[in-house]
Chain A
Amino acid sequence: MVGPMYDCLANPLGAIRLTFEKAVGSGCEPSAFDGKDWGALDVFREFLVDQGNLSQVPVLNSETLKWVQPNTLVRFRGMVQDMLGNEFYAGAYKDGSGWRTNKFGDDSQQPIDSSPDVRVWERRLLYCVPVPGLNTWAESEAASEATVTSMDLTSQQRDKRQRMDAESMDYEVCPGSNIVLEDSPSAKRMREDGHPSLSVQLSDLKPEGPCSSTMMRPEVGDSPSCLVKVYDTRESELKLNDIFEFVGVFTIESEPVPADDGDDIDLTTGFRNDLVHLQANKVPCLHCIVHRKLAVSDFLRSSPIIEQSKHVVMNTRESLLRHLTMLLGNDGVAANYMLLHLLSKIHARVDNVAVGKLSLNLTCLSKEALSVFGVQLCNALRNLLPFTDSIPLTVNYLNTACLGPKKDYQRNRLIGGTLQLAEGSHLTIDETQLETGTLNSVGIENARLLKDLVELQKVEYDFTYYKMEMAADVQLLVLSEGKSNILPADIVLPVRPSDVSRPEVVSAEALGAWRWYLATMRTLSHTIESEIQEVVEKDLVAARQADRRIGSKEFSSLLTMGRLMSLSFGETTLSLEHWEMVKELEKLRKERIN
C-alpha cells in the first residue's frame, strides 16, 4: 500500500516526484519514460477511484479560485474550446547527480547550466471553458457530488444530499417562471435566482456532510476558463467540444512574458503568440493527471434508486408527458412531439445526412402567446436538460452576433461563437421577435450558419484561409409565428393551446426522474426487426404514392420519430404499435397544417 505515503490532495507534486525517484531508483533510465507514465498515475487512480476520494478534490470555479493553493490537486469540468497545440518541456533533467522530473508541474527553477541530460517531453495544451449553457442545477450537482460510479457514499449521506438538492430545486423552478424572456440569455438570471436558495441550503449542509464537501459546495457562479495541459494521451482521445472532467495539479503561471532585451525582441515578435495572449495571470492552469469524458448523464446525480424497469420508465414518461402537455397549454400532440424532440440524438452520419436529428418548429406563436408559455417552456427545458441556450432571432442580433467560431490570428486563439456548443446541447431559437429589416453580410452569414446547423448539424469554423466544418449534435427548437423560412426544421407543428394554466410546482423527485429519463433513454441503442422493416417500407411507399411531395427528408424524419418513440418507452426495437403511434401523430400534425 502506497496510500499514506503520499498526500495526493495537498502535495500532488510530491507524490509525483517520489514515484519518479522510486522508478529511477529501481534502475530505469528516464529516457524509458518518454511519453509514458512511471507509476504516478496508478497512485492517483487508486487515491481517486479506488478510495473514492474524488469528492474531496475541490472543483475549480471562480469561488474556489480565490483560495485554492497552487500545486494542489483540483478538478475542473469543462468543454474543450480550443486546442493550442503541443508544448515541449524539459520533462526530466539531471540535477547534480539525481534525475528530477518536471512533469505535471511548471518548475521554472531549472538551472541555467542545463546539462545535456535533459529529456524533452511534450504535452498538449487545451483551452477549456465551462460548458456553454450549463444550467445551474447541473453545475451545482457536478460540484456537489462525485459521479464516479465506484464512489462509496453511505446511503444516509446520499439521502440527505438528495433532499437538500430537492429543496434547492423547488426554489429554482418557481421564481424563474414568471420572468419574461428577453434578449439576453436568461441563464444568468437563473443563477441569480439560484443563489439565495443555495446559500440557504449551505447552512443546512454544514453539520451533516463530510467536512470537505462543505467547501466544495460552490457559490454557483461563472467558472473560469482553464488552460489544461494533458500528458501522454492519444490525439483521438480528446476532441474539440467534448466535455471532460480533468483532475490535476493546479498552477498559476506567475510571470508575464517580458519582451525586451535586444535579441528577445526579434524572437518574441514572432513567437509571442503561444503564451502571452493567455495573460497567464488570469487563466488558471491545470496539469491534468486523470481525465474522463463526460456524457450528459454524468451531470445528473447517479441514480441507483431509479431502476431501469419498464414500469418506472412508463411512469416517468407519463408524468413527463403530462408536464409537457401542461406547459404547452394542454396540447397533447405538441407535447408528444416535444418529448421526441428532447430525446433526439445523432447516431450516425452518412455523407451529408445526420441521422437521428429531429428539430422542431413550433408555429402559431405570436409574441403574446410566447410571453406566456414560451418562457414557461424555456424554464422547463432549462430544468430538464443540462445544457440549454436560447437565441433571440432579431435582425439586429443576426447582424451583430458572432455565431460561428472564428480563429483570431492576432491572439492565436479560436474565438468561440454562440454555436460552439457541446454535444447534446439544446438550443431554442425564438423567431417571433423577427421583424422586417435588412441583413448585412454578417447577418447573412449568421443566417446561413444557423440554416446549416438545422439542416446538416454542422457548424462552419472560420479559419480565415479556409473554413472547416465541425459536426455538431444540437437539439434545435424553433419558435415562430408561421413556418420558419430561415430555419427549415424537420417537423413543423402549429401549436393549439387551449388552456393556459399556472405552472405547477414540480417536485424535485419528479424533476430528478425526468432528467434521468431524458439522459438515459436517448443513449439507448436501437434496431429494427425485419418484419417491421417490411411494414415500414410498405407504409413509406404507400405514403409516397399518395403524395409525391414526400421525399427522402420526410421518410427520414418519420423513421427518426419511430425510433425515438420506441426509445421513449425504453424499448430497443421498433414495434408495430409505436410505428402506428408515429403515423397517428403525423396524421394529426398534417391535419393541423392543412
Chain B
Amino acid sequence: MASDSSPARFNNTPSSPDDSAFSSPIGDTISSPAAGTSRRNKRGRGRSAATPPNNHPRFAGSESTPTPLHHGGRPPTPSSTSEGAPSSEAGDDMDEAAPTFVWGTNISVQEVKSAIQMFLKNFRDAQSQGAEIYEDGKYMKAIHRVLEIEGEWLDVDAHDVFDYNPELYGKMVRYPLEVLAIFDIVLMDMVSQINPLFEKHVQVRIFNLKGSTTMRNLNPSDIEKMVSLKGMVIRCSAIIPEIREATFRCLVCGYFSDPIVVDRGRISEPTLCLKQECQAKNSMTLVHNRCRFADKQIVRLQETPDEIPEGGTPHTVSLLMHDKLVDAGKPGDRVEVTGIYRAMSVRLGPTQRTVKSLFKTYIDCLHIKKTDKSRMVAEDAMEIDSSTQKHDEDVEFDEAKLSKLPDIYDRLTRSLAPNIWELDDVKRGLLCQLFGGNALKLPSGASFRGDINILLVGDPGTSKSQLLQYIHKLSPRGIYTSGRGSSAVGLTAYVSRDPETKETVLESGALVLSDRGICCIDEFDKMSENARSMLHEVMEQQTVSIAKAGIIATLNARTSVLACANPIGSRYNPRLSVIDNIHLPPTLLSRFDLIYLILDKADEQTDKHLARHIVSLHFEDPELAQQDVLDIATLTAYLSYARNHINPQLSDEAAEELTRGYVEMRRRGNFPGSSKKVITATPRQIESLIRISEALARIRFSETVEKHDVTEAFRLLEVAMQQSATDHATGTIDMDLITTGVSASERMRRENLVISTRNIIMEKLQLGGPSMRLLEILEELKKQSSAFEVHLHDLRNAIATLQTEGVVAVHGDNVKRV
C-alpha cells in the first residue's frame, strides 16, 4: 500500500489506538473527514474503552476523530502511536521522518506493518508448502474467500503467526492494541487492492494462542495483553445498542446537523444551530432514526470445574462482545475466548471526575470458540480444533510410548479401579468395554454394533457399584442411573410440551444422551419390567424409536450398557441358573456380551487381603500405596486417543482362529453317544468375540487384530460364560441357559418326567374313571424312578403339559383322564 497514506492514517488514531485500530482503516480509505457517514465503525471492540472518559489515558477514546487536535495525545499515553501526528502536543516530539514507534516500546510501526504484510501474503501451511508454491498463501486465499462471501472478518491462527514470525507473535501478544490496529490497516489495504469497491470493513480475528491461561491466573501484569482462556458462559446481558454517530435536528428551523461521532464516550451536543440563518440556541434535538448504533453485549464467563482448585469457588470474568460476536455464546456453553484483558477505573459518581482506586476488569473479546466439538460453529471452518490436534500430537507421543510397553494390558488392568482388588478378569472385560470394538455398517444397511455390553451380577458388598462409578468417571460420555429411579421414558426419550411455544418437543433420555459412551445402570434387577423392555432395541439395534404425540423418530443410541444386578434373595444361589437368580428375561440377557458373576466366596485369602487393605487405609499414608499404575488423566487420554484414532481390522490369521475356536465351542456341545445337544455358542457370541478382540487390539494401539487377541477374547468370554452359563447339573457351558433360561439337561429331565407321568396315568387311570390325587401320582413316580428326585412343582408342570395335550383334565388336586 502506498506508504504516503500511512502517516495520515495514523493521524486519526493518536491517543486511542484501540478505538481507532478498528475503525481507522475505513477512515483512511476515505480521505475526507467529512465523509464520516460512510465510516463503518462496526467494530466496536474499542468502544467500551471509550466509556469512562477520564481515567486511563489509553481509554480516552477519540474514536475516529479526524482531527488530532483535541484528543489527548498526552505525553505519557503509553500506547499512543504518536508518529506522524502534526503535533500540537508537547509530547509528540518525534521527527516526522524518523521511524515511528509505538509509544513506550521499541516496536517500529513500519517494521510490524511489513511483517504483517509478509505474513499475510506468504504464509503457507506446512502441508501445502512446496507442493503448491505458485498458489496463493493460506491467508491470501482466505482474504479472497472473505471478499467473495462479503464477510466481515478474517480469522488468523496465532499458531501460524508464530510459525511464520515468532517476533511478530510476541509483539502481537504483548501489545495487541497497537499491533492489531496495524494488522487491520494492512488487511484493509490488501482488500482495497484486490477489490477497491469492497465496502465492508474486514477485521482480523486472532485465535488459538500458543499459551492459554486460566481465569485465576490473570493478574495485573496481563492487563492490555492478549490472553486466551476457557470457561463457561453463565450470563449474557441483553443486547445493548451503543451509539456511534448521532444526528441532531434543530427544533426551530429543522436543520439537520452532520453526524457527530462519539468522542471519548461522549457526544458533544451542539448548543446552537449550525445553520447560519437560524443560530437558535439550545434547539438541537437528537434524531434517533438517523443515529447509528452498534451491538454490544456483556457476558460473564465462569471457570469450568476442572480448573478450580480444592477449597475454592469458581472465578468469573466479564467479556465484552461486539457486533458479530454478540450472542455467539449462550449460557451453559463452554467456550474458549481470545481477547485483550483490560482494566477500567470506576468513577466515584456519574458527575464526578474523580475515580475510585479500584479497577473493573474485563476482556475485550476478539474471538470466541465453543469447545464442545459437536456444537462447533459451522461457519468457522478454519477452526477445526487445531489446538486439540496439537495437543494430541504431544499426547500421542507419550501414549505411543505407553502402548509399546509389553505389559500395557496388565498395567491398564491394574490401573482400573486400583482400590478394588482381585476381579482382574472383570476389569479386563470392563477395559474392553471402554475401548470398544469397531462399529460396522454394511452397504446393504445392516449394521453391527461395536459396543460391548456387560452385566455384573453378584452378591451385595462386592464393590459392583464402585466399579460402575469408576467406569462412569472414566468413560468419555455417559450417564449413570439407578434402576429403581429410572423409567422407560427417562432412559430413552420423552415428549414434552414446551411451556412457551406450546409445541411438543423431544427430550432425550439417559441412553440417548450417552450415545457413543457408556450408560451405567445400577440396580438393574430393580428396574421396572417396562423400562427394561426398552433396552432390547438399544442394546442390539443401537437406536431408540419413538412414536408418540405426533412425533415418530428414531434416535441414535450407540451406547455400551454396563449394568449390575443383585441376585434375587440378595444372595446368589449357585443351584439356580443366572436367569432364575436375577430374574431377567433371557432375551435381554443374551444381549450382554459378557456376564460376570461376582460372588462373595468365603475365601480366607481374599478376606485377609481386604483386611490388610483397610488397615493400611487407616494407618498409612495413602500416598505411599499404589505406584506403578496410570493415573486417571493418563488413562483417559490414552483411552480417548485409542478410541479416536485406532480402528483395528481382523487379520486373516485372527479370522481363522476365530472360526476354529467357534467351531470348537459348538462342538463341545455334542456329547458322543448322547442324544442331547447342548448349544455352547451362538452367532451372538462370535460377534461378541470379534468386538472383544478388536478392543484388545485397540488397547495395544495396533491396527490389526492378531491371533493372540482372539485367544484372549476367547478366554475372557469363557471366563464370563463359565460363571454364568454353566449348567450345574452337568458342569458344561450351555448357552441355552442364557438364551432360554433352561439348560438342555433340565429340558431333558422335564421331558422324561412328562413321559413317565403319562405312563402312570395311562396305567392307573381309566378313561372316564375315578380321578387320582396329585400326591398319589407323585408317590408312584418316586417308586418308579429312584434315579432322580421329583418335586410336586415339577409334577404340576408335567401335568400341565399333558393337559394341553388333552390327555387329562385337572380339577384342583384331582387328575382325571379324558
Contacts and interface: CB of A to CB of B under 8 A. Distances in A.
Interface of A: 34-35, 82-83, 85-90, 93, 102, 106-112, 114-116, 119-122, 235-236, 239-242, 255, 257-258, 260-261, 263-264, 266-267, 269-271, 273-274, 348-353, 355-356, 407, 409, 412, 414, 461, 463-466, 468, 470-471, 526-528, 533, 536-538, 540-541, 544-545, 548-549, 551-553, 555-556, 559-560, 563, 574
B314 to A, nearest CB: 6
Contacts of B316: 85, 412
B312 A240 contact: yes
Contacts of B305: 463, 466, 468
B82 interface: no
Contacts of B345: 90, 110, 114
B358 A89 contact: yes
Contacts of B419: 350-351
Nearest to B235: A409
Contact of B602 (A121, A264, A266, A548): A548
B265 A263 contact: yes
Contacts of B604: 541, 545
A239 B310 contact: yes
**Closest 9 A-B residue pairs measured CB to CB?**
A270-B298, A239-B311, A261-B350, A540-B611, A551-B461, A88-B359, A263-B51, A120-B220, A528-B619
A274 B469 CA distance: 38
Contact of A108 (B310, B312, B357, B463): B357
Interface string B603-635: 010011011111101110110000000000000
A537 B357 contact: no
Contacts of A526: 619
Interface in B47-68: 48, 50-52, 54-57
B48 A88 contact: no
A271 B619 contact: no
A464 B300 CA distance: 14
Contacts of A353: 617
5 contacts: A263-B265, A270-B300, A349-B622, A352-B466, A463-B305
B617 A355 contact: yes
A266 B242 contact: yes
Nearest to B358: A89
A235 B615 contact: no
B331 interface: yes
A560 B345 CA distance: 55
A407 B308 CA distance: 15
A116 B78 contact: yes
Given A412-B316, A465-B331, A264 B347 contact: yes
Given A544-B610, A545-B602, A108 B348 contact: yes
B498 to A, nearest CB: 20
B617 A263 contact: no
A137 B242 CA distance: 58
A559 B356 contact: no
Contacts of B312: 83, 235, 239-240
A541 B608 CA distance: 6
Interface string B348-385: 11110111111111100000000000000000000000
Interface in B78-120: 78
B268 interface: no
Given A270-B299, A471-B310, 4 more contacts: A90-B345, A269-B237, A545-B607, A552-B463
B355 A110 contact: yes
B617 A348 contact: yes
B308 A468 contact: yes
A536 B362 CA distance: 59
Interface string B203-230: 0000000000000101111010000000
A465 B356 contact: no
Contacts of A464: 234
A541 B607 contact: yes
B313 A109 contact: no
A106 B218 CA distance: 22
Contacts of A348: 617-618, 621-622
Contacts of B362: 271
Contacts of B615: 528, 533, 536-537, 540, 559
B51 A108 contact: no
B602 A527 contact: no
Nearest to A549: B461
Interface in B718-751: none
Interface centre among A35, A120, A258 (most CB of B within 10 A): A120
Nearest to A241: B311
Interface residues of B, number: 86
B350 A258 contact: yes
Interface string B303-331: 01100111111111010100000000001
Given A261-B351, A412-B316, A122 B219 contact: yes
B354 A112 contact: yes
A85 B298 contact: no
B655 interface: no
A102 B350 CA distance: 23
B235 A120 contact: no
Nearest to B625: A350
A229 to B, nearest CB: 11
Contacts of B237: 269-270
Given A85-B315, A236-B309, A110 B356 contact: yes
B350 A260 contact: yes
B394 interface: no
Nearest to A269: B237
Contacts of A414: 313
B769 to A, nearest CB: 55
B618 A556 contact: yes
Nearest to B348: A108
B232 interface: yes
B166 interface: no
B357 A465 contact: no
Contacts of A266: 51, 240, 242, 296, 298
B424 interface: no
Contacts of A261: 350-351
A355 B298 contact: no
Contact of A122 (B52, B220, B610): B220
A524 to B, nearest CB: 14
A122 B619 CA distance: 42
B574 interface: no
A454 B350 CA distance: 52
Interface string B434-462: 00000000000000000000000000010
B73 to A, nearest CB: 13
B359 A89 contact: yes
A106 B355 CA distance: 12
Contacts of A409: 234-235, 300
A102 B353 CA distance: 19
A260 B48 CA distance: 16
A102 B235 CA distance: 32
B343 interface: yes
B302 interface: yes
B332 interface: yes
Contacts of A236: 309, 311
A359 to B, nearest CB: 16
Interface centre among A263, A465, A537, A560 (most CB of B within 10 A): A263
Contacts of B621: 348
A352 B311 CA distance: 17
